[in-house]
Amino acid sequence: MFEFLFKYPPAVFTKGKLVLLSPWPVWLIPLLLLAAAAGLYWQMTRHGSLVSRARSLFIWLAQTALVALVLFLVWHPAISVARLRPQQNVVAVLLDHSKSMGLTDQDKMARLDAAQSLLKDKLMPGLSERFQVRLYGMDKDAVRVENAASLHADGNATRIGDSLKHIAAESGSMPLGAIVMLSDGGDNTGGIDRETISQLRQIRVPVHTIGFGPENFAKDIEIVEAFVPARALPNSRVSARVAIKQHGYSNQKVKLSARENGKPLAIQEITLKGDSSEQSEALLFDIGEAGPHSVQIGIDPVAGEENVKNNTLVRLINVATKKPRILYIEGEPRWEYKFIRRALEDDTSLDLVSMVRTTQNKMYRQGISSPRELEDGFPTKSEDLFVYDGLIIGCVEATYFTPAQQDLIREFANRRGGGVLFLAGRTSLTEGGYASSPMAEMLPVRISANEKTWVREQAVVELTAAGREEAITRIEEDREKNIARWKNMPKVANYQTVGSPKPGAVVLMNIVPQGKKPSPLLAVQKYGHGRVALLASAGTWRWKMWQDHTDRSHSIFWDQLLRWLVTETPGTVLTSTKQQVLADDGHLPLRVDVRDKTYMPVTGAEVEGTVVRPDGQSEIISLAPDPIEPGVYTTDYTADKPGAYVIELNAKKEKADLGRDTLTFRREDGVAENFSASQNKELLQKLSADTGGTYYTPSNAGSLTKEIAISEAGINAHENLDIWDMPVVFLIALLLRGSEWLLRRKWGVV
């Protein structure tokens, strides 16, 4: 219909440019139109008494519009487009043959079969007539094939970006006019990078996409992503944040679980939300002993699911063998101090070193590794303080610390990446003068400078919405039981009122004093490279004294809070990578941050790694300094075989050992294609739009053979296509004149 009215396909108008071919100046058009409009107006006023003013105005407008149309046509309008020259250009056809293309959709036909059929029956005849067609099979890369029928849906992954890059690189040696991609858009790399798009735009090659497969399965549950901490301490409770998408199971209860070697670590019942909407769930589980742990996070298959292979994801967690040390400075003997020490007594994964001011001039130290440790009081040098992984500041007035020590505490979190926990007390926070110290900036909440905030009254505590999902506050494994448990927790002995949380801070628990507004009790936030927590009470010891002696809620809470404080505290050598489970992809970008004892970046270090491969063989890799970031060393490692890899990294400078770190990762093959198996229409549409191409469905792909010629790539010629003779122009003219005539008849002024 469009082509009948407008003579050309839509692509001509979207990609072409309007030109007026008449040699006369364009400015003459408005001048003549103005004159004509004035003349018609004069004419109208001469016979103004025959019809009403509104009717006269309508007739005048219709006549003026007709004159404007005629003037426009007289100036010879045309659309200027670049057209590929017949027989001189190459069209690359990419046919996705990854495993997801083997899925059979509702039309009972495999996607690849449908694509091959479309290619053979509708596209190839039209394309081959005018272009040289190069056929590529696409999965991890684009590989040239002679015959589409030879392709099978056996590719382990789809990397659209890499495939397009490959074609773009080849375009230097051939007149590439356009790319046609037949795919379900199930890219496994998380999207097409900007670099590829800009490369295609540079060579002006449009990518026309034809999408296969349904946008959603009728019945499917998929684990979209599972975020877990890369590192944990032995026997820690870790929190996984799981993103789930489903279709066809709204409001259904399913079991979300974490398993290791088939053994359940946690099972939680969840209710699925609306179709196609992504929901996020927290799953907490105990990770176990030191070493790499491969955890399967998934939802038990539900009856009728079309694809059960996307119900489980594998994630790797390295459980450290190191024993973090936490320094706790307390301004006076108090029960909270005693009970915190007792809570950690059975935890062999943490070392609590404490110093308490028993008198004005005496400091009592506990948990020290040698009589010299902390002999001179709270550390004054960064290299002495930064040997600890975490820091607890109890009831100590800010002025007890020198200005240099206050800065050091701030740098402990900011630069060293340690965790700092501030506790309430009669000389803490507001009463301790913290508001005017550099430490105020670190706090996750605002504090006032001079109010009375310390209250020795018992108060109820409650979990916030965030606290219900957080590992720190998860005393019971089951979410609902945990909420109920906190509701029955004994009151804390005291509290300190604090202000509102700062942007980026998360309040996990509130204190609810009788007859007063709730106030943050436990708030946490990231600060620089580290993290900061505030516990606005020194009376959690009542959770121990007022519950049965076998009850472990107090010790579990403190254990988890302090583990959170130090788990992510880095050593002087820290290895990181984007993801530790490589799905059908062996490319592993490695980054190592090297710091000295004061946690300043070290340049000029030698950083080497020993990779132990799945077959037991090892190889040495060297990392090169990053040209922009000092203290950062990088390399790209390729894991060519599936399985578990261990990399031991070591940094040295002038023969001095700067530190070591270990990274484990897995490569898994044959899993990526099970995820995002429905058509990613959004990605295909965006790819076409960004490159000047068009997105087609299999049903309207027939028009592609006509539209594909309009391209500025390859060998092309600009053509001016007349539009004055489009049927729609005559229809408009007829409509204007006809409606005027009909109305005149009706009004009796013919």
Partner 1 sequence: MKLAIPLLAVCLLVIAAVELFGWQRYGNAPTSGFQIYDQSDQNAPAEFFFSRLRYNTGYGGGSGYRRGGGGWSQDFPRADHDCLVVLRRLTRIDSPSPLNVVDIGDDRMMDFPWMYAVGVANWAFTDAEALRLRNYIARGGFLMVDHFHGQDDWDRFMKGMGMVLPNAVVEDIPDSDPIFHDLYDIDEKFQIPGEQYVSTGRTYEKDGYVPAWRCIRDKNGRIVVAICYNMHLGDAWEWANDGEYPEKFSGLAFRIVLNYITYSMTH
Binding site for partner 1 (CB under 8 A): 331-335, 337-339, 341-342, 345, 356-360, 362, 364, 366, 426, 456-457, 493, 541-542, 544-549
Distance CA 103, CA 111 (A): 6
DSSP tag of 492 = B
Radius of gyration of the chain (CA): 36
β-strand 419-423 against 237-247: which pairing, if any?
A: unpaired
Residue with tokens 């426009």: 72
Residue type, 558: W
CB of 341 to partner 1, least distance (A): 7
CB of 553 to partner 1, least distance (A): 12
CB of 487 to partner 1, least distance (A): 20
CB of 359 to partner 1, least distance (A): 5
Do 597 and 383 form a contact (C-beta atoms < 8 A)? yes
CB of 344 to partner 1, least distance (A): 12
**Which residues 6+ apart lie within 8 Å of 121 measured at CB?**
none
CB of 435 to partner 1, least distance (A): 22
Nearer to partner 1, 332 or 719 (CB): 332
- DSSP line for 180-197: EEEE----SSSS--HHHH
Nearer to partner 1, 204 or 426 (CB): 426
Do 71 and 29 form a contact (C-beta atoms < 8 A)? yes
Nearer to partner 1, 539 or 609 (CB): 539
DSSP tag of 412 = H
CB of 562 to partner 1, least distance (A): 18
CB of 387 to partner 1, least distance (A): 23
Of 635, 570, 638, nearest to 609 by C-alpha is 635
**Which residues 6+ apart lie within 8 Å of 152 measured at CB?**
97, 102, 112
Distance CA 366, CA 341 (A): 9
Residue with tokens 């996990």: 508
Do 603 and 637 form a contact (C-beta atoms < 8 A)? no
**Which residues 6+ apart lie within 8 Å of 284 measured at CB?**
237, 238, 239, 240, 266, 471, 474, 477
CB of 398 to partner 1, least distance (A): 16
Nearer to partner 1, 342 or 613 (CB): 342
55 SS3 class: helix
